[in-house]
Structure formats: structure tokens, C-alpha cells
């Protein structure tokens, strides 16, 4: 079998530590001591030209002095020495390097130049780099501890990949006391070479890794990241935490859509489609790690709660409702079984309160029955220490049941001193247990999200889900014409023409340049009409008084023409005015006002948004987002993730909206995004939807030049299949 291209980082046969030292608490001393004491089963060489011996082992002045092949080097020397070390390592056939040293790109222009030299040297010799400025890498199963952490890690089946070395040390400390082990632990540091994509590509084929945890601060290559993340999540659970959720200082948005979507929203949508579960805090990450290490694979969100106290069960049920979980409805067979084994006063439903005097046998009957119920996807068992309670015996029952069933079984033994032995038993048996019912419910929600996101992961849409292909040539000509005029904002007429090229229904619009022309157009279209300012400088027409509706006769049209001009000249003096557009009023008694938008994220590229529309779109804040391309399943998922979705069925005597028409528009917008890389932002607002179909009443498009690419879909994070 061929080795993976970064296998030298994870399974080296020989390691040299540059900067190995006897100086107490120096990085080189700690790294070499860790390698010496971790039981590394390969060859280990300390490299330090100032020493004959380091920590009782012969030291070497350089890589050349070793005289034997070295696969991996660990470098803990001053930054200015590192490029030369990599040069000599390349000459002598080294495959990979872990650069713990800091002082490169993060240290200013001088460090940046040093980093560039380092990377160029490594690439010249084909050496793959972890770091610089990282904690290092661990592989407990082979005794590889190339880090300056105080101590090692237990062997386990979780891989942890982090951009923060400090968080790695905290995770390791927590794991030791909670019985959690690792297959690998990687601190990526600056990640100038090997990045998340490379590491995930290795871990997905690593037999020792059953699940993957990640800490992320930022993404550089979205295409590589998404491809590797999706490949990994198809086979193994991936859970991650990303910081920087509330970045400040963003530029003022040019459209409704851009003002609604933040980078964190986009990241959330991206990782969900990748089949990944995201948590928000390190506490949640730790809690989820316990469940992931058990290899649970839930198939839904229906939770059963077994408890010896009513209050904690209510707290758990409330938290479940907050998180959108479903309290399982127990089957008749389960109810009948529990009636035979529980006191008459049990509530005959879920939560299953087995009463305060419950001992281990009641926990056995109640938990077993719930685990075997087809209506239940997971069970939370809660114990509060009461006079008759036997926490350890009950814990041992749960451990046995957990080992015998594949469904998630989570324990919450509340209290401290009286349940300490039980918690130790859970930890030794690797049965996930939590101090509060709310935390346990959150963990089940992560497991449930994993199942839901897996359904998103298997979607593989192409660029053209329709039989009728769009007129891409005409659409590109419209955009090129706008850019040739040194404009970025399309007029409403141009925007609607762009939509029409992709067969999106639009309200017919004609531009008038005088009151008389406005009257003639209105008579041609038929009253009532709507009149709107036509200006490339005005994004939100209503805000400038540039929109008048329901104009029913010649007098109203003539008056409206002048009134709109006066309003705009007063509110936006100096704005370029290219006439006033006129369109028939859209009369749809059952119409719902919706919005579909496109914006461009600097990392993940184009993003599609959907939600409630109209003039109050920002105030309502009702929107869901997705990364293109879409297919029917993803379009429906996007719709259902909004509050307005509840109004699209039968609502207040209105006929249900035509969902097929809405889905069709979303898919055609997805086509636009795929085929028009110069499309930067777009609002279709309102898109009016009723039982007969959808109609774009207004549209706004912003374009931006980008250099041509041989890759047709280079602008997209997810390549159309």
C-alpha cells in the first residue's frame, strides 16, 4: 500500500530534534525529554552543535553527522537558523519537519521574509512542514510526542487538530482526568504548508482515528478545506469550534443581503453542508468529546429521559425544546412494560420519572425499555443522590446497558461527593457522563446534528438542475457592458434582464424619461402601475422617496413622476438619474413577500440567502443561508430554515403557496451563481409568491471584475458535481 504524502509526520521511523537541550524548562529540553519518555519506537537523535551529549544520549552537530536516514525533524532553534536547517535536511533526504520556533510571519516584515525563504526551501526539496509557531504533534500509539507540552496523552481514537497550541495543552490536561485518549494531536500553528485539508486527508484514512475534533481560527483555502472536510465527515464524525464569531469593523453593505450575512453565518452553513457538527465553547467541545469517543451513531433527534427527580427532568426537557429536539413518544409496548416494573405513580410518559426511592433495578428496567423502543433515538439517565439512592450500583447498570446497545446513552449523576465513585466508574468505562442535565442534552443535540448534517453531506448538486438551459451568453454580455461603463451596480432594468436570462419570472419594466412618456407607458402596461427611480447610485429606492405605488390614472402618473424626482434630488442630491421605471402593479391577494439574495464571502465565495422580504427585511432578520450549488433537497432545506416558511402553507384563509415555483427560482439563482463569477451581490426583493407561482417584483445586482480563470468554478468553495 502506498504511504500517504504526509505519513512521515504521523508515523516516522526516525526523528531528529534540533535544539535538544539539557537546560531545564527550555523548549528544546522539554521536546526531547517528551520524545525520550513517551516510548517512541523509532530512532531518536538530539541535534545540538554545542553539546556532545544531551539527556544521556549522544548529540550530533548537524543532520549530516547522524549518518543515517531521518524521516522527521523537530526544530526548536532561533528563527534565523531554521531555513539553513531545512536546506541541510533537504540535502539529506528528510521528508517532513515540525517547526516549533516562532518569529516568522507573525513577527512583522523581517519575519515574513524569513518565512518566505523557509517555505521556498522546503518546497524545493519536497519537505512538508507543520508550523511554524506551533506546539507540535503527538501520536500516542507509537510514542511520538514531538511537543513542548508537559506530559503526553492517553492512546485513544479521537484526533484533535488545533490552530491554538494553548488550547491543545488545556485539552490534554482535561483529557487525562476524564479518561479521554487521542489517536493524534496536531497543533498547526501558522500552517504555512501543511494545513487543515492535508491533515484531514490523512486522518480520514487513518485506522486509529474514529472521530475528529478541530479548533479553527480562520480558513485560507476554502476549496481544499471543504473538500477534505466533506471527505472526512462521510466516514468519521467531525466536531469543531471556530472563534471570531462576532468580528467587528466590517464595511457598510451595498445591499440588503450583504448587511444581513456575517462571515460566521457563512462558516456555519459551510460546515453544516460538510456534515460537520459545530459547537460554540470549549466546555461544549469537551462534553462532545466524551460522546464522540464512544462511537455513537444516532439516527434522529427523539430523546427519552429517565430520572429519579422531577425538577432535573423538567430542566432537561426545557433545554431539549430550546435546541429543537423532540421528546420521544414512548410506544404502547414500552408503556406496558414500564407499568409492570415501576411504581403506580410514575407519570406514564416521557420523561420517565422512576420516583425518588429508585434503586439500580428501576434504572435497569426503565433505561433498557427506552433503548429498545423504536420511537427513541437516545436516552438521558439522570440521578440525584437521595436517601435510598445507590449511585455506584445504578452507574454500573448504565455501563452494562451502554455496552450492549448502539443508541446514545448519556448519564447525568448530579451532585459531587456522593456521586464521585459513580463518575469515576463512568470515566473508566468511557460512558459519557455530565454534571448538569442541560449539558447532557446539548451533547445529544450535537449527536443529532451530526445525523441531520450527514443528510446534507450526501447531496451532490450539479450546476444545471433544469432541462432548460439559461442564456449565459446574454447574461455575461449584460455584465460586461456594465463593467465597460466603469459601473458596478446594474439598473433595475438590467438586473431584471439578467434574471430573465436564467428564466426567473420578472415584472415587466419600462423606463420613462419624461412625464408624457411615463403616461404612454402606463397606458400600454395598464393601470394601476408602480413607478421607481432608475439610478445606478441608489440601492434602496424606498429610503429616498423613489418609489410610488398603486397609481391609477394619468394625473397620478404625471404627478408621481415629478414627485419622485423632487424626493430623490432632496434626499440624494448629485445622484445620477436615468429616468423612472414603470411596471404594472403586482396584484396577488395571496402573495407572500420573500427575498432571495446573493453575497460574496471573502473565504467561501458566493452565498445564497432566503427569507422574508419587503421593506422591513433588515428589521425582521429572517433569513437562512446556503453555499451553492443547490439541488431540490438543499433548496427545500434552505426554505424550511426560516420563520416565513410557516406562512407558505395554508395561512389565514390564503391558499398554500406554490412551493415548486419557489424551489425553481432558488435553483435558477444557484445557476446564476455558478455561471457568473463576476456576480458579487444580488437582491430579489420582493419575490412575490402565491398559489400560482413566483414573480420578481424588484431586483438589484452588483458585479465586480475578477481575472479570468481556466477553472470555470474557481470562485466557488464547493465544486458542482
Residues 574-625 pLDDT 10s: 999 999 999 999 888 899 999 999 999 988 999 999 999 987 777 778 899 9
pLDDT at residue 247, as a whole number: 52
Are 648 and 690 in contact by the 8 Å Cβ rule? The answer is no
Q: Is the peptide bond before 687 cis (omega within 30 degrees of 0)?
A: no
Distances (CA, A) of 55 to 34, 35, 51: 11, 11, 10
Domain extent for 563: 508-585
Q: What is residue 52's three-state secondary structure?
A: coil
The per-residue pLDDT for range 140-175, each reduced to its tens digit, is: 999 999 999 988 999 998 999 999 998 899 889 888
Give the helix ranges, DSSP H, for 126-261: 165-178, 196-203, 222-235, 256-260
Distances (CA, A) of 661 to 133, 139, 653, 689: 53, 53, 20, 8
pLDDT greater than 50 at residue 252: no
Within 10 angstroms of residue 412's Cβ, the number of other Cβ atoms is 26
Mean pLDDT of 290-317: 87
- Tell me: pLDDT of 1 over 60: no
Q: Output the nine-digit C-alpha cell for 677.
A: 463569477
| C-alpha cell belonging to residue 700 | 438589484
User: pLDDT tens digits, residue range 470-486?
Assistant: 999 999 999 999 999 99
Residue 571 lies in a domain: yes
pLDDT band per the 50, 70, 90 thresholds, residue 522: very high
Q: Is the pLDDT of residue 254 over 50?
A: no
The label of the residue with cell 390614472 reads 553
Lowest mean pLDDT among 177-181, 246-250, 442-446: 246-250
Asked whether residue 92 is assigned to any structural domain, the reply reads yes
Q: Rg of the Cα trace of the chain?
A: 31
Q: CA nearest 172: which of 156, 153, 188?
A: 153
Res 91: pLDDT: 97
What's the pLDDT at 256?
Answer: 43
Instruction: Look at strands 529-533 and 580-584 and give their pairing.
Output: antiparallel
Q: Is residue 431 part of a domain?
A: yes
Same domain, 185 and 310: no
Residues 446 and 552 placed together within one structural domain of the fold: no
- Per the rule left: phi > 0, alpha: psi between -120 and 50, beta: everything else, 468 is beta
Which residues touch 408 (CB under 8 Å, ≥6 apart)?
291, 294, 296, 298, 377, 378, 379, 432, 444, 447
Q: Are residues 32 and 171 in the same domain?
A: yes
Q: How many CB atoms lie within 10 A of CB 321?
A: 12
At 436, the pLDDT band (50, 70, 90 cuts) reads very high
Average pLDDT over residues 699-712: 92
**CA distance linking residue 494 with residue 506, whole number of Å:** 12
How high is the mean pLDDT of the chain?
91
Together in a domain, 431 and 545: no
Residue at which a domain ends, from 537, 559, 585: 585
Confidence tier at 107 by pLDDT (50, 70, 90): confident
pLDDT over 90 (residue 118): yes
By the 8 A CB rule, do 532 and 581 touch?
Answer: yes
- Does residue 129 carry a pLDDT above 50? yes
Q: Is the pLDDT of residue 250 over 50?
A: no
C-alpha to C-alpha distance for 205 and 8, rounded to whole angstroms = 15
Same-domain pairing of 184 and 73: yes
150: domain CATH number? 3.40.50.720
684 assigned to some structural domain = no
276 in any annotated domain: no
Q: Is pLDDT above 50 for 438?
A: yes
My answer on whether 14 and 129 are in the same domain is: yes
* SS3 track for 302-356: EEEEEECCHHHHHHHHHHHHHCCCEECCCCHHHHHHHHHHCCCCCCCCCCEECCC
CA distances to 203, 243, 434, 663 from 186, in Å: 11, 18, 27, 43
Tens of pLDDT, residue by residue over 640-692, are 999 999 999 988 888 999 999 999 999 999 999 999 999 999 999 999 999 99
Strand 14-18 to strand 43-47: parallel, antiparallel, or no bridges (unpaired)? parallel
CB-count exposure of residue 597 (10 Å: 0-12, 13-18, 19+)? buried
> How many residues would you count in the chain?
721
Angle (CA) 125 129 132, round 5°: 130
Please give the tally of structural domains in the chain: 3
578 and 513 within one domain? yes
Residue 285 pLDDT: 83
Torsion of CA 264, 266, 268, 273, to 10 degrees: -170
Task: Name the helix (H) or strand (E) containing 512.
Answer: strand 510-512
Label residues 554-574 b or e (16+ Cβ within 10 Å = b): bebbbebbeebbebbeeebee
List the beta bridge partners of residue 327.
Answer: 303
Asked if the model's pLDDT at residue 721 lies above 80, the reply is no
Asked if residue 105 belongs to a domain, the reply is yes
Please choose, from the candidates 209, 377, 215, 376, the residue with its C-alpha nearest in 3D space to the C-alpha of residue 293.
209
Residue 259 clears pLDDT 90, i.e. is over it: no
Which tens digit of pLDDT belongs to each residue from 404-418?
998 999 999 999 999
Which domain CATH number covers 566? Answer: 3.30.1490.20
Is 175 in the same domain as 321? Answer: no
> 0.75 exceeded by the pTM?
yes
pLDDT above 90 as % of the chain: 74
Cell numbers found for residue 561? 413622476
Considering the domain architecture, whether residues 422 and 541 belong to the same structural domain is answered as no
CA distances (Å), origin 332, targets 137, 239, 370, 374: 53, 36, 12, 11
Of 7-16, 192-201, 273-282, 524-533, minimum mean pLDDT range? 273-282
Q: Please say which residue of 554, 585, 616 terminates a domain.
A: 585
The reply to whether 417 and 512 lie within a common domain is: no
pLDDT at 251: 41
Burial of 352 (0-12, 13-18, 19+ CB in 10 A): buried
Q: Which residue has the higher pLDDT, 223 or 93?
A: 93
Name the band, by pLDDT with cuts 50, 70 and 90, for residue 253: very low
Q: How far apart are CA 479 and CA 472, in angstroms?
A: 11
Residues 83, 18, single domain; the answer is yes
Domain shared by 19 and 167, yes or no: yes
pLDDT at 441 over 50: yes
What are the DSSP calls for 87-154, one per residue? HHHHHTT--EEEE----SGGG-HHHHHHHHHHHHHHHHHT-EEE-SS--EEEEGGGTEEEE-SSS---
357-384 pLDDT, tens digit each: 999 999 999 999 999 999 999 999 999 9
The reply to whether 302 falls in a domain is yes
Query: What DSSP string runs through 573-616?
Result: TT-----EEEEE----TT-EEEEEEEEEETTTEEEEEEEE-STT
In a domain, 43, yes or no: yes
Q: Write down which residue in 209, 236, 257 finishes a domain.
A: 209
* Domain CATH for 336: 3.40.50.261
Amino acid at each position: 500500500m502506498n504511504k500517504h504524502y504526509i505519513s512521515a509526520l504521523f508515523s516516522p521511523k526516525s526523528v531528529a530534534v534540533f535544539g535538544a537541550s539539557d537546560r531545564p524548562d527550555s523548549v528544546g529540553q522539554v521536546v526531547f525529554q517528551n520524545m525520550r519518555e513517551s516510548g517512541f519506537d523509532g530512532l531518536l537523535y538530539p541535534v545540538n552543535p554545542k553539546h556532545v551529549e544531551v539527556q544521556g544520549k549522544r548529540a550530533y552537530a548537524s543532520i549530516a553527522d547522524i549518518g543515517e536516514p531521518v524521516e522527521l525533524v523537530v526544530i526548536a532553534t532561533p528563527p534565523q537558523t531554521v531555513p539553513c536547517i531545512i536546506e541541510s535536511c533537504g540535502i539529506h533526504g528528510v521528508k517532513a519537519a515540525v517547526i516549533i520556533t516562532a518569529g516568522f510571519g507573525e513577527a512583522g516584515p523581517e519575519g515574513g521574509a524569513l518565512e518566505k525563504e523557509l517555505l521556498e526551501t522546503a518546497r524545493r526539496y519536497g519537505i512538508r512542514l507543520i508550523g511554524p509557531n506551533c506546539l507540535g504533534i503527538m501520536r500516542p500509539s507509537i510514542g511520538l510526542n514531538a511537543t513542548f507540552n508537559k506530559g503526553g496523552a492517553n492512546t485513544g481514537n479521537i484526533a484533535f487538530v488545533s490552530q491554538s497550541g494553548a488550547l491543545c495543552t488545556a485539552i490534554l490536561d482535561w483529557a487525562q482526568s476524564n479518561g479521554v485518549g487521542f489517536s493524534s494531536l496536531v497543533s498547526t500553528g501558522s500552517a504555512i504548508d501543511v494545513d487543515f485539508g492535508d491533515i484531514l486527508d490523512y486522518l480520514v484514512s487513518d485506522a486509529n482515528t474514529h472521530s475528529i475534533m478541530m479548533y479553527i481560527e480562520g480558513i485560507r483555502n476554502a476549496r481544499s478545506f471543504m473538500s477534505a472536510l466533506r471527505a472526512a465527515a462521510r466516514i468519521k464524525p467531525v466536531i469543531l469550534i471556530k472563534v471570531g464569531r462576532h468580528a467587528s469593523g466590517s464595511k457598510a453593505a451595498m445591499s440588503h443581503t450583504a448587511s444581513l450575512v456575517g462571515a460566521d453565518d457563512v462558516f456555519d452553513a459551510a460546515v453544516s453542508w460538510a456534515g460537520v457538527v459545530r459547537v460554540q465553547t470549549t466546555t461544549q467541545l469537551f462534553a462532545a468529546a466524551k460522546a464522540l469517543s464512544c462511537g455513537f451513531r444516532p439516527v434522529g433527534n427523539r430523546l427519552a429521559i429517565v430520572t429519579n427527580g422531577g425538577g432535573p427532568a423538567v430542566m432537561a426537557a426545557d433545554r431539549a425544546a430550546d435546541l429543537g429536539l423532540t421528546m420521544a413518544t414512548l410506544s404502547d409496548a414500552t408503556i406496558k412494560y414500564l407499568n409492570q416494573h415501576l411504581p403506580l405513580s410514575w407519570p406514564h410518559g416521557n420523561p420517565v420519572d422512576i420516583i425518588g426511592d429508585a434503586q439500580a433495578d428501576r434504572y435497569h428496567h426503565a433505561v433498557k425499555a427506552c433503548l429498545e423502543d423504536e420511537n427513541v433515538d437516545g436516552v438521558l439517565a439522570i440521578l440525584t443522590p437521595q436517601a435510598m439512592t445507590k449511585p455506584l450500583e445504578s452507574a454500573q447498570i448504565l455501563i452494562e446497558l451502554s455496552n450492549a446497545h448502539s443508541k446514545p446513552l448519556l448519564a447525568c449523576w448530579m451532585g459531587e461527593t456522593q456521586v464521585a465513585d459513580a463518575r469515576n466508574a463512568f470515566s473508566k468505562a468511557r460512558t459519557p457522563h455530565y454534571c448538569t442535565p442541560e449539558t447532557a442534552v446539548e451533547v445529544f443535540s450535537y449527536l443529532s446534528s451530526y445525523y441531520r448534517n450527514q443528510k446534507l453531506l450526501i447531496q451532490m448538486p450539479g450546476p444545471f438542475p433544469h432541462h432548460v438551459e439559461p442564456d449565459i451568453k446574454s447574461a455575461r454580455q449584460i455584465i460586461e457592458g456594465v463593467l465597460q461603463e466603469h459601473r458596478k451596480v446594474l439598473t433595475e432594468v438590467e438586473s431584471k434582464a439578467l434574471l430573465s436570462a436564467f428564466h426567473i419570472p420578472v415584472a415587466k419594466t419600462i423606463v420613462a424619461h419624461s412625464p408624457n412618456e411615463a403616461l404612454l407607458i402606463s397606458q400600454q402596461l395598464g393601470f394601476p402601475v408602480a413607478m421607481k427611480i432608475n439610478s445606478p447610485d441608489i440601492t434602496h429606492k424606498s429610503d429616498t422617496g423613489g418609489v410610488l405605488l398603486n397609481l391609477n390614472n394619468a394625473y397620478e402618473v404625471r404627478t408621481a413622476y415629478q414627485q419622485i424626482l423632487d424626493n430623490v434630488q432632496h434626499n440624494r442630491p448629485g445622484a445620477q438619474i436615468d429616468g423612472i421605471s414603470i411596471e404594472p402593479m403586482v396584484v396577488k391577494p395571496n402573495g407572500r413577500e420573500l427575498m432571495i439574495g446573493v453575497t460574496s464571502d471573502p473565504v467561501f465565495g458566493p452565498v445564497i440567502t432566503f427569507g422574508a422580504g419587503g421593506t422591513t427585511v433588515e428589521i425582521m432578520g429572517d433569513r437562512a443561508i446556503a453555499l451553492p450549488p443547490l439541488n431540490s433537497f438543499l433548496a427545500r432545506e434552505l426554505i424550511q430554515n426560516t420563520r416565513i416558511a410557516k406562512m407558505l402553507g395554508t395561512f389565514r384563509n390564503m391558499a398554500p403557496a406554490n412551493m415548486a415555483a419557489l424551489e425553481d427560482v432558488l435553483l435558477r439563482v444557484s445557476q446564476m451563481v455558478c455561471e457568473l463569477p463576476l456576480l458579487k451581490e444580488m437582491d430579489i426583493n420582493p419575490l412575490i409568491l402565491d398559489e400560482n407561482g413566483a414573480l420578481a417584483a424588484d431586483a438589484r445586482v452588483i458585479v465586480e471584475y475578477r481575472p479570468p480563470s481556466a477553472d470555470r468554478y474557481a470562485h466557488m468553495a464547493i465544486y458542482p458535481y
